[in-house]
Structure 1
Amino acid sequence: MLRTPGIAAFTGQPSDLAECRAGTDLIGRPEVQEFLQSITDPDAALAELTGVLDGGDAFRAGMMAFVCGVLVERGGSVAIPVDAVLALMERHLLLARERADGRDGAGAGADDELFERSPDLVRAHHALPFVLLAAMTMLSRDEAARRRLRARPGIAALVDALQKHYETLYYVREVLSLVDGRDVLLIDVRNRRGFVLGLTGVRDRMYHFFALAQDALLRHAGPGYLGAEPADPAAVRYAQNRGLSADDHRAAADLLDHQLLGFFYPGVKRPAGEAVTGLFFPGSAPFEAIPVIAGVPTLFLAERSFRAQWSPGNMYPVLHEALESRVSLRELPSEDVEAWLAEFTKPSD
């Protein structure tokens, strides 16, 4: 039996328009099947595939990125392919934008003509939905990769410009808007306590932060802290996206979470120079609306002023089964809290 060319040689060969339009039929090709059936070590396979993503045919390289995503979902290390897949995604987004800009008012057969002139624009268009699926798989698992992608100039604008053409870009946009690696300082003025909460994979709607923070605070400070009722375990698991079953996802349509603690704008009563809670901080606000004091986003904690509720499934629907949302909690020493309050309430010059 003749052996097919290696996966690198196959990926480097040019695809035609029919192959591009056939999408995942490529996975059934003998060259790809031989490679898949030979895999004994997913990480070694990922390393081999990663090496063919830069410089291969635009469509075939995109489909190999899709295979990388499948291998990561099956336990392969996301660290091996993630940067190469995201670089390929960016190249394909640029090609897709060029194609979209040139197709305004074009008829159904425009891609046939375009393939003759600029085949990579069409190849990237057909591969991009599969590249985006792979990117979502990896970004959901790798916080550092999310941060690196956000730092790439022009990525957010590309995603916004092309979202109407590629449905999966909605999810990529939402992943890019996640709050990662940021801290929030919470000051309990009445009890002179302070907590630093570190955010990972938190949606940019404060309702999500409230759900995660309430659970962390009540676990740390104990039941009944600031008069709070116990957190709903189902609501907490949904907010964390932890161990959700198909039944949990169905039940999310009727799931409600509640305000257990009060989150407030920081305030100072003058002339006494006393720290006091200001207005209630709204759960619909974005993270960037939190007041920044001494370089740190800061809110005051107190007993809730009213009983708010929200639908987790509407406010922060699950983006990907692998995306973990969490907050870490560190309580400040009492002397640090007193020093912070003294500085905060000090009269301005």
Structure 2
Amino acid sequence: MYLSPKNSWWSQIRSHVAIFDGPLSLIIFLILSVGIVTLYSAGIDFPGRVEDQLRNIMVAFVVMWVAASIPPQTLMRFCVPIYTVGVALLIAVAMFGMVKKGARRWINFGVVIQPSEIMKIAMPLMLAWYFQKREGMISWRDYVVAGLLLVVPVGLIIRQPDLGTGTLVLAAGFYVIFLAGLSWRVLVGLVIAVGASLPVVWTVLHDYQRQRVMMLIDPTSDPLGKGFHIIQSTIAVGSGGIFGKGWLKGTQSHLEFIPERTTDFIFAVFSEEFGLMGNSILLFLYVLLIARGLMIAANAPTMFTRLLAGSITMIFFTYAFVNMGMVSGILPVVGVPLPFMSYGGTALVTLGLGAGILMSIQRHRKLIQT
């Protein structure tokens, strides 16, 4: 049957677009749209932020498309090399990395990279691969091995120091271990052990990390210094009321009281301008994002894909929970962006990669033999 050039062109485009998972793509697009609108207001004094973010979004979608095109079976072959390279780069950073603002987190190979970002995806890949290889014969020793695979890179990241990224990598690995069948009794024991070790942990924290915890308890003890971030962000969140002050009318942001308002504290700008109603809609979008991810994980045909999809989905949850928690004053201030909303290329590309892997798992689920 002869196809007109128009139909042939559309068929080619549709075959490429079909790689994306419809519901997940729509949810991400809506959150990105909310983010651009908020960023325009938050970054009105920072010319070029919106244009830069649009370029970041384009790069993230390319990464997402590439990741969605790679079958999970192919992805499994690269789990160990990616993890090994990631750890090697973290060691290289510790030895001769670049120091900025008192932290050694970057390394220059002609292009400056932050290896800790790689571990956000490399960690769940590695642990999901390991448990897939041990499927049907998992014992307590495997959880010990998985724990060692987790604590080595996390320790290197926290040593930089980078508590925020270390927390995210730790959470990503823990989710895989938990979903692999970690006993609730062991989990309760770990919680008790962590609680008992807090006095020791407190002694090894850096001064700025202790100050962040103290500011969470009483930010008014240093209102113009360490407590400034929390005080101003909570004022912005509360002043939005039910319906908000309106787009471009946020006084806390436009009078420059909110620090890092285009990145880590963009949720404070959104809350002030769109209020409780806007927050409810945004929270609903994140719930849909997590629900779709968990649905993909539930329908995944292999242990590797189930663990990987579940962990990536819970990473999205951790990003949102920690960011909103620190902006609202219920968690210490750490450098965790709001997913698909905060300005920044590295985090957005990492999130796009995670979303692309979810789409790959969903797309290839019927092609994998169970």
Q: Same fold (TM over 0.5)?
A: no
TM-score calculated relative to the size of structure 1: 0.27
TM-score calculated relative to the size of structure 2: 0.25
- Structure possessing the higher radius of gyration over alpha carbons: 1
Query: By percentage of residues, which structure has more helix?
Result: 2
Query: By percentage of residues, which structure has more strand?
Result: 1
